[in-house]
Amino acid sequence: MSAFTVRIATPQDEARVGALLSVCYATLMAPDYDPALMKTVLPMMSAANPALLACGTYYVAENDAGEVVGCGGWTPEHPGRGDIKPGLGHIRHFATHPAWTRRGIARALMARCKAEARAAGIDRLECYSSLNAEVFYTAQGFHELGPIDIAFTPACHLPCVHMACAL
C-alpha cells in the first residue's frame, strides 16, 4: 500500500482538486444517480472552490508521487449561505480518487477536520452527503437528519442526506 500525507490546500491546488473531484464524483456516484442528472450537475459540483482552497481548513491528501488522491475540509460558514452559528461547522467537498478508496484517506481527512474544528470551538459538524457517501459518514459518527435536495439550477436538484456529528 502506498503512503499518503495530508496537508492544508492552497489556491495553487485548484486544477488538481478539480480533476480529482471530477473523476471521483463521476465514478463513485454513478451507481446511485441517474446519468442524465450527473451529466448536468457534474461540471458544477466538480469545480474546486477557490474560497475553500484559501480558507486554511481545507486539505488535500497526496501520494508518494505528489498526486492529489483525496481532499476535504470544514468551514464555520454554511455552504451556499455563508452564515455562521456558534459551535457549528460544515464538512465540505470530500473526495477520494477511485483507485485510492479504502486506504484510510477519507478517514484521515475527517480526523483532521474533527480535531481542528474541535480546537476552534466547534462542537457539532454537519454535512450534505451524497447517497453513495452516507455509509462513510455514518462510520465516522454522523447520523441522518433527513433527506435534502441540493439545487444546482431551478430545475435540477441532487438528492442528498443531511447529516450531523457531535464532537
Q: Is residue 88 part of a domain?
A: yes
Average pLDDT, the chain: 96
Taking a C-beta distance cutoff of 8 angstroms, is the pair 167, 123 a contact? Answer: yes
Structural domains in the chain (count):
1
Measured between its terminal Cα atoms, the distance across the chain in Å is 30
Q: How far apart are CA 79 and CA 93, in angstroms?
A: 10
Residue 135 lies in a domain: no
Decide if 18 is inside a domain.
yes
Give the per-residue pLDDT at 92: 97
Domain contains 91: yes
Task: Give domain status of residue 13, yes or no.
Answer: yes
When pLDDT is cut at 50, 70 and 90, the band that residue 21 belongs to is: very high
Please list the alpha-helical segments (H only) found in the chain.
Answer: 14-28, 35-45, 50-54, 105-119, 134-139
How far apart CA 5 and CA 75 sit, in angstroms, is 21
- Residue 103 pLDDT > 70: yes
Three cell numbers, residue 4: 499518503
- Residue 102 belongs to domain with CATH number: 3.40.630.30
Q: Report the candidate in 126, 100, 134 with the shortest Cα–Cα distance to residue 24.
A: 100
Range of the domain at 61: 4-123
In a domain, 161, yes or no: no
Question: Residue 2: is its pLDDT beyond 70?
Answer: no
* Cell numbers found for residue 24: 471521483
Q: Is the pLDDT of residue 1 over 80?
A: no
Side-chain-facing half-sphere of 61: CA atoms under 13 Å: 27
Q: What is the reported pTM? A: 0.94
Q: Tell me: the pLDDT tens digits for 59-97?
A: 999 999 999 999 999 999 999 889 999 999 999 999 999
Would you tell me the crossing angle of helices 35-45 and 14-28 to the nearest 10 degrees? Answer: 160
How confident is the model over 114-124, as pLDDT tens digits?
A: 999 999 999 99
**CA gap 76, 101 in Å, rounded:** 27
102 inside domain: yes
Q: Has residue 151 been placed in a domain?
A: no
**Cα–Cα distance for residue pair 71/97, rounded to 1 Å:** 9
